[in-house]
Amino acid sequence: MPKNTPSAPSVPGAPGVPGNPAGPGGSAVTPCPNCNITSQTAVSVPSNRARTDLGVGESVDVTFSLGAATWTFSPNEGMLSSTSGSTVTYTAPDRASTVIITATGGGCSCSITFHIIEPSGIRMVRQPGTQRKHTFHRASTGFIADIYFLPETVSFEHCSYVESDVDAVGTGCFQQYFANNSVGHHPNPNPISVGPPTSDTSGSKVNGFDRISCDADKCDGGWTWSIPWSFQVGGGLSKEFTTVDQVIAITAAGRATISKAGASASSEFNDPTEVDPLF
Amino acid sequence: MRFVLLPVTVLCLGFSADAGANQRKKASMSIESAKKQVAERLDLYRKTSAVEELRGAGNAIEQIEVHTVPDFTGRQAARQEKLALWLTLLDTIDSAKDPKFNPEDVPAARVTVPDTPMKPGVPVRTPEGIADPEVRRKYDQAVAANAEKTNRYRIQKELRQIDKELTSRAERYIASAYLRSQRSVKEMDEAIAQSVHHPDRASSLRALVKPAE
């Protein structure tokens, strides 16, 4: 269905209604050329506030061009602030969907279609201006990360997320230790809220930061946590949407490297101690 | 023209007396139902801090259709009731907002294990490996404090989001139901005196109906 579809209401015998002859030649005539629905998202970033792709839980104002209208939506997912009025607010559901909102008034009816999108992934970037975490003569490194929810085309500011705790899997000199011991990464147990995107290409920025660090005896090996991430909207049910690897590599010379979701840091054994205050 | 219309109007009024009474009853039920729903939602919100309850209260208020009330006095009363409910809802939000909330003071995804000796045989720095029980206790306290901060932050942030949304919806209603006039200011002042405890909110509400200078 096109984004914005005007038509006359389905009145028996009315021209242009499926099953009803539209007159000579049978071609459907659009009787309501000025009938349309405009929309404006509550958030101002992404900058295209007329977009019809919405993040789960996002709100959008929809306005009927002909004034007072009766509003319906299908399927019954999400919420309309009211079923009447010239402008109403639609709040998207907490799961992916395609929802058609229809306004009827002034003898006309038209629809607008919204595509509701769930988070598909995350990206991390080292927080600008922050230092690493390293202790002189330790195989250690770390960084402070900003976290962004993808895709960047919508806002996930009504979401929050949790990381599940999982055991690390070791390699090389650490393989045996992690095989014999359950070593989690100790995530925050409470949902961390997500804010709006900071630009059209950023993704939705988490209202929080990650402290990503490692510190180990030097030897050739490493370990990985494969961490499931789940989102939720408000107090709704959570849903796993991606798995993020937090990977640590250590060398016999004491070089430590850590990476997560596209961001990384590395320190040499002999690097001077540095610790960002956010650690 | 008036001469012709008058008897028709009288006839219509007489003919529609029962319908008018029914509409009045329906409108009154709609207001009572909305008031009950709003009270229940606000009660649930106070117990759970779930902002969905606030949005639900806003939706219940919007179900009140002032324009369908058949007579002027009834419409006037419905308009005031609807305004009072919006103001009660906005005041609930204002009261729940922590004025000291700093949106820049964000929580962390985890707490760093302190630089402290590990137990023998532990080759990596982990909370389980912390040798000193007192250091471990402090670490656990820091984890609990960060979790609490995370909850507090999320609640305050969600309150501000719903405030923005519901304020916009309430203002939309006020703009559609009230002219900018001294009479509207008087009605607004009465409603503010009943429900609004926050001066900034009171000022912004008054500004919506104040006559243009």
- pLDDT at position B148, please? 97
Residue from the list A81, A163, A181 with its beta carbon closest to the beta carbon of B62: A81
Residue A104 has which token pair?
């009827």
Mark out chain B residues that contact chain A at CB-CB < 8 A.
Answer: 48, 50-52, 55, 58-59, 62-63, 65, 103, 106-113, 115, 123-128, 143, 146-148, 150-151, 153-154, 157-158, 161, 164-165, 168-169, 172, 176
Mean pLDDT of successive 10-residue segments in chain B (213 residues)? 38 48 64 93 94 92 86 91 97 96 97 95 95 97 97 95 93 94 96 96 97 85
- Residue A76: name the closest of A40, A102, A58 by CA: A102
- pLDDT at position B15, please? 41
Identify the DSSP state of A181: S
pLDDT band, very low/low/confident/very high, at A12 (cuts 50, 70, 90):
very low
Whole-number percent of chain A with pLDDT over 90: 85
Other CB atoms within a 10 A radius of the CB of residue A49 amount to 14
Yes or no: say if A233 and A96 are a contact pair by the CB < 8 Å rule. no
- pLDDT at position B31, please? 87
- pLDDT at position B30, please? 80
Q: What is the SS3 assignment for A229?
A: strand
Range from A12-16, A147-151, A231-235, A240-244 carrying the lowest mean pLDDT = A12-16
Pairing of strands A59-64, A37-41: antiparallel
Q: What is the pLDDT of residues A113-170, one digit of tens each?
A: 999 999 999 999 999 999 999 999 999 999 999 999 999 999 999 999 999 999 999 9
Residue from the list A85, A160, A186 with its beta carbon closest to the beta carbon of B110: A186
Residues in chain A closer than 8 A to B114 (CB atoms): none
- pLDDT at position A4, please? 67
Residue A279 distance to chain B (closest CA, Å): 6
- Residue A108: name the closest of A36, A39, A38 by CA: A36
Residues in chain A closer than 8 A to B147 (CB atoms): 188-190
Taking each helix axis from N to C end, the angle separating B133-177 and B199-209, rounded to the nearest 10 degrees, works out to 20
Sign of CA dihedral A263, A266, A271, A273: positive
Q: Counting Cβ atoms within 10 Å, is residue B77 exposed (0-12), middle (13-18) or buried (19+)?
A: middle
Contact B154 A208 (CB under 8 A): no
Q: CA-based diameter of chain A, in Å?
A: 90
- pLDDT at position A27, please? 36
- pLDDT at position B18, please? 60
Backbone angles phi, psi at A252, to 5 degrees: -65, -25
Q: Taking 60 as the threshold, does the pLDDT of residue A24 lie above it?
A: no
Pinpoint the alpha helices (H) of chain B: 2-15, 17-48, 51-62, 72-96, 133-177, 182-195, 199-209
Q: Where are the beta strands (DSSP E) in A157-238?
A: 159-163, 169-172, 192-197, 204-216, 221-233
Residues in chain A closer than 8 A to B115 (CB atoms): 135, 215
Pairing of strands A53-55, A108-117: parallel
Q: How far apart are CA A45 and CA A154, in angstroms?
A: 8
Query: What ipTM goes with this model?
Result: 0.84
Residue A172 has which token pair?
């090389």
**B110, B148, B166, best to mutate vs chain A, most A CBs in 10 Å:** B110
Residue B126 has which token pair?
């982990």
Taking each helix axis from N to C end, the angle separating B72-96 and B17-48, rounded to the nearest 10 degrees, works out to 0
Q: What is the pLDDT of residues B38-57, one digit of tens each?
A: 999 999 999 998 898 999 99
Residue A42 has which token pair?
């509550």
Size of interface A-B (CB pairs under 8 A): 117
